[in-house]
């Protein structure tokens, strides 16, 4: 199982779509920086994330920094910096997109 970290907005980069295309279904994906907007409930990417079969995490600090209400993130699990560190410790192999 691999951890994929995506940092670019899916509206300005193909990183998230490539990550979903090439990652194994057992992989976990962490959205950070501008990629967190992909997890906004009822957004264009929300259904894709919900149905992709992978476990999706979103960095809470980046959600707050972008003025997004945490209640609008329903397609992913919010994690704080400690959760981010825990994810990286749990995965020997990692890929940054």
For Cα atoms 25, 10, 17, give the angle at the middle one, nearest 5 degrees: 30
| Single pTM value for the model | 0.94
CA 74 to chain centre: 12
pLDDT, averaged per 10 consecutive residues of the chain (97 residues), comes to 96 97 96 96 89 96 95 92 97 96
Which helix (H) or strand (E) segment is 83 a member of? helix 81-90
Class at the top of the CATH hierarchy for domain 2-96: alpha beta
Query: Rounded distance, CA 68 to CA 23, Å?
Result: 27
CA dihedral sign, ordered 75, 49, 17, 45: negative
Which helix (H) or strand (E) segment is 31 a member of? strand 28-31
* Domain locations along the chain: 2-96
């Amino acid at each position: 199982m691999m951890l994929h970290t995506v940092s670019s907005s899916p509206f300005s980069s193909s990183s998230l779509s490539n990550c979903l295309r090439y990652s194994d279904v057992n992989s976990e994906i962490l959205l950070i920086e501008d990629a967190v907007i992909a997890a906004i409930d009822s957004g264009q990417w929300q259904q894709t994330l919900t149905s992709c079969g992978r476990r999706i995490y979103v960095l809470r600090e980046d959600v707050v920094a972008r003025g997004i209400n945490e209640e609008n993130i329903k397609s992913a699990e919010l994690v704080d910096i400690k959760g981010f560190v825990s994810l990286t410790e749990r995965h020997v192999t990692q890929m940054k997109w």
